A and B are shown apart, each in its own frame.
Chain A
Amino acid sequence: MARAGGGWTIRGLQYGFVAPALVLLLAMNIFPLLYSIALSFSNADLVGSEFSWVGVLNYKIVFKLAKYAQALRSTALFVFLAVAIELVLGFALAYALRDRFRLKPLVLTVLLVPMMLPQAVMGLFWKLMLNGNYGALNQLLAALGLPQPQWITDPDLKFFSIVMVDVWMWTPFMMLISLAALQAIPTYIYEAAAIDRASPWRVFRRITLPMCAPLLGLAVLLRATDALKQFDLIMAITGPNDRATQTLSALLYQVVFRDGKVGLGTAYSYVILVLVIALASAFLRYMARLQQRENAA
């Protein structure tokens, strides 16, 4: 029997390794969640004055008022568009950059820079660049003789402008994970395919794509959860109360911190939470199945 050291029993030490992480996660996630269940049935406000219980009133408001459902639809569209474009662009970049070449480290570093920048500040900077009158983008388009839309004031366009900024910032992340996935495919599989004279398209469809799928799925999951929480860019570019770009986080911020309605805000965040957890666990199950099939093959 090995000694644990420092007077610890083996069993105690096992838990000693995992306990700090679990205690912190439970304290900072479970406690706030339990606490906010209570808040969601009250009319508590932000300044902390006396509050009373209002039953399911907050939940009724959330399901009745159109703006809550609208924010959900906006968010779903935002997540879908941003993640889909980032996945395609990021994977295409990684696929194009898969072989070694002399400047590869430099090219990769430059490509990764956008995801290292603070979104809240870059949102402001993009607002400057997208300005209809003195923005750099429209000046460039004018020089090229192209039309110059009002990127951030046109209500039909500003939502897509924010998607574009998100794509600029986070395509590098998709590229990074795609590169890792491509690199993990053993070369002997490609060699075997070459002996079989498989066409490049067939190799891509039958080998490259399926072997990258599990990791790409994980990348999509991570990116989707982040896009779902997207707040910094919206806050900087259009503010939290713009109907055209009001996603979940923006609306929550507006309700809780501008209107001060904590009870209503927490009720809404519970509805979101249930949806997110349902979606995420469905996705994780799908991923697990995908991986099992991969291992069996």
Chain B
Amino acid sequence: MKWLRVVFVGLYMAVGTLPLLWLGLTSLKERADTISVHPKWLPALSQHGPEDPRFSASLEAYRRLGEVYAGADHTFYHYLRNSMAIGLLSTLASVLIGTSAAYGFSRFAIPGSKDWLFFILSTRFLPPLAVVVPVLMMYRQFDLQNTHLGLVLLYTVFNLSLAVWLMKGFIDEIPRAYEEAALVDGYSRWQAFRLIIVPRAAPGMAVTAVFCLISAWNEYGFAMTLNNQVAVTVPVYFAGLQGNVQGIPWPQVCAGVLLFVVPIVLFTVLVRKHLLRGVTFGTLKQ
């Protein structure tokens, strides 16, 4: 049966990574080669005829990410900075607020805690478009439309339910004896949380951060409807190039997407060891 497993995984890998490979190849092309009717799949160092499978490969697209494309207001890096500020701040906020709430629900007998936890989970089911209009009105009222803060706040809240549930799973697994010993030693509750729980929950916080970052980093619906002028993020920038007079600059888009995903991949690799434990949401007791 082992060969069957190898064949299946091999086949899936081959098919599943082809689009990624094409993404990489496209980032090395000139625009004309990206929409050529003749397949261009072999990178070469020199120019070739239109029917030749070889195309001249260069890092030109990566260099041109530093230029302002026709119809856009800024370079890719400007939008990348927006994405980074919004993604990192909201991730940090979700993880901190989520951990604190998870600790509260894990350790104290909070009245109605079951109902609160269900409420927290249920906010995940809400279709974002169901709340986008009132949020838009509210943001207009408070001058949060087209601000970094507006998106940070929104992403923080949307990731909170996931953060609370993931962190509760992790904190439930930390034995109470640790904190109780610390409390006997004269630590305050807050000190016990900060000095005993947080360091032990750190891997869980890292896993939670990965999930929050992925969704905040790639979010499009709210970013497009609430923030399409200032604080524009990378997905909104690239998607907005559709319908551009010069057409979509495919090589730059592919180069940009590849640069855009690097931090996420690195972060995921760093927390890989804890990733699997994280996704069980504490539903499984070993």
Given the known inter-chain contacts A29-B126, A36-B133, please indicate yes or no for A18 contacting B105, CB distance below 8 A: yes
Residues on the B chain within 8 Å of A214, using CB: 283-284
- The B-contacting residues of A in range 203-233, CB under 8 angstroms, are 214-215, 218, 222, 225, 228-229, 231-232
Q: Once the chains bind, are A96 and B100 in contact (CB under 8 Å)?
A: no
Given the known inter-chain contacts A10-B189, A266-B133, please indicate yes or no for A181 contacting B280, CB distance below 8 A: yes
- Min C-beta distance of A55 to chain B, whole Å: 19
The answer to whether A17 has its CB under 8 Å from any CB of chain B is yes
Q: Once the chains bind, are A121 and B283 in contact (CB under 8 Å)?
A: no
The answer to whether A112 has its CB under 8 Å from any CB of chain B is yes
Stretch of A61-69, A154-162, A190-198, A249-257 with 4 or more beta carbons under 8 angstroms from chain B? A249-257
* Size of interface on B: residues with Cβ below 8 Å to A: 100
In the complex, residue of chain A having the shortest beta-carbon distance to the beta carbon of B267: A116
The answer to whether A177 has its CB under 8 Å from any CB of chain B is yes
Q: Once the chains bind, are B272 and A8 in contact (CB under 8 Å)?
A: no
Bound-state Cα–Cα, A113 to B20, Å: 9
Bound-state Cα–Cα, A271 to B105, Å: 32
Residues on the A chain within 8 Å of B137, using CB: 35, 48
The answer to whether B72 has its CB under 8 Å from any CB of chain A is no
The answer to whether B164 has its CB under 8 Å from any CB of chain A is yes
Q: Identify whether the interface residues of B are mostly helix, strand, loop, or mixed.
A: helix
Residues on the A chain within 8 Å of B20, using CB: 110, 113-114
Q: Once the chains bind, are A5 and B190 in contact (CB under 8 Å)?
A: yes
Q: Once the chains bind, are B37 and A116 in contact (CB under 8 Å)?
A: no
Given the known inter-chain contacts A114-B20, A273-B126, please indicate yes or no for A121 contacting B239, CB distance below 8 A: yes
The answer to whether B260 has its CB under 8 Å from any CB of chain A is yes
Residues on the B chain within 8 Å of A252, using CB: 127, 129-130
Residues on the B chain within 8 Å of A20, using CB: 97, 100-101
Q: Once the chains bind, are B108 and A17 in contact (CB under 8 Å)?
A: yes
Q: Once the chains bind, are A110 and B254 in contact (CB under 8 Å)?
A: no
Q: Identify whether the interface residues of A are mostly helix, strand, loop, or mixed.
A: helix
Residues on the A chain within 8 Å of B104, using CB: 14-18
- The B-contacting residues of A in range 233-289, CB under 8 angstroms, are 235-236, 248-249, 252-253, 256-257, 262, 265-266, 269-270, 272-273, 276-277, 280-281, 284
Bound-state Cα–Cα, A96 to B193, Å: 41
- Min C-beta distance of A221 to chain B, whole Å: 9
Residues on the A chain within 8 Å of B214, using CB: 115-116
Residues on the B chain within 8 Å of A108, using CB: 272
Bound-state Cα–Cα, A41 to B268, Å: 46
The answer to whether B196 has its CB under 8 Å from any CB of chain A is no
Bound-state Cα–Cα, A273 to B118, Å: 16
In the complex, residue of chain B having the shortest beta-carbon distance to the beta carbon of A179: B276
Selected from B239, B250, B281, the residue in CB contact (under 8 A) with A236 is B239
Q: Once the chains bind, are A231 and B220 in contact (CB under 8 Å)?
A: yes
The answer to whether A128 has its CB under 8 Å from any CB of chain B is yes
In the complex, residue of chain A having the shortest beta-carbon distance to the beta carbon of B210: A116
Q: Once the chains bind, are B9 and A93 in contact (CB under 8 Å)?
A: yes
Given the known inter-chain contacts A36-B133, A272-B130, please indicate yes or no for A117 contacting B257, CB distance below 8 A: yes
In the complex, residue of chain A having the shortest beta-carbon distance to the beta carbon of B250: A128
- The A-contacting residues of B in range 214-259, CB under 8 angstroms, are 214, 217-218, 220-221, 224-225, 234-236, 238-239, 242, 248, 250, 253-254, 257
- Min C-beta distance of A204 to chain B, whole Å: 11
* Size of interface on A: residues with Cβ below 8 Å to B: 103
- Min C-beta distance of B196 to chain A, whole Å: 13
Q: Once the chains bind, are A249 and B9 in contact (CB under 8 Å)?
A: no
- Min C-beta distance of B224 to chain A, whole Å: 8
Q: Once the chains bind, are A35 and B220 in contact (CB under 8 Å)?
A: no
Q: Once the chains bind, are A109 and B277 in contact (CB under 8 Å)?
A: no
Q: Once the chains bind, are B157 and A25 in contact (CB under 8 Å)?
A: yes
The answer to whether B122 has its CB under 8 Å from any CB of chain A is yes
- Min C-beta distance of B174 to chain A, whole Å: 15
The answer to whether A85 has its CB under 8 Å from any CB of chain B is no
Q: Once the chains bind, are A218 and B191 in contact (CB under 8 Å)?
A: no
The answer to whether B269 has its CB under 8 Å from any CB of chain A is yes
Q: Once the chains bind, are B100 and A29 in contact (CB under 8 Å)?
A: no
The answer to whether A139 has its CB under 8 Å from any CB of chain B is yes
Selected from A21, A136, A228, the residue in CB contact (under 8 A) with B22 is A136
Q: Once the chains bind, are B13 and A13 in contact (CB under 8 Å)?
A: no
Residues on the B chain within 8 Å of A188, using CB: none
Q: Once the chains bind, are B261 and A256 in contact (CB under 8 Å)?
A: no
The answer to whether A97 has its CB under 8 Å from any CB of chain B is yes
The answer to whether A145 has its CB under 8 Å from any CB of chain B is no
Residues on the B chain within 8 Å of A89, using CB: 12
Binding site for B on A (CB under 8 A): 2-6, 8, 10, 13-18, 20-22, 24-25, 28-29, 31-33, 35-36, 39, 48, 89, 92-93, 96-97, 105, 107-126, 128-129, 131, 133-134, 136, 139-140, 143, 168, 171, 176-177, 179-181, 183-184, 186, 200, 214-215, 218, 222, 225, 228-229, 231-232, 235-236, 248-249, 252-253, 256-257, 262, 265-266, 269-270, 272-273, 276-277, 280-281, 284, 291
A-B contact pairs, 11 of them (CB 8 A): A18-B116, A20-B101, A114-B19, A119-B235, A120-B220, A129-B22, A136-B22, A180-B284, A186-B286, A266-B133, A270-B130
The 7 A-B residue pairs whose C-beta atoms are closest, nearest first, are: A5-B188, A17-B104, A32-B134, A21-B101, A269-B130, A120-B220, A18-B104
Known: A96-B5, A105-B272, A122-B257. 6 other contacts (CB 8 A): A13-B189, A17-B108, A110-B17, A113-B20, A218-B281, A225-B125
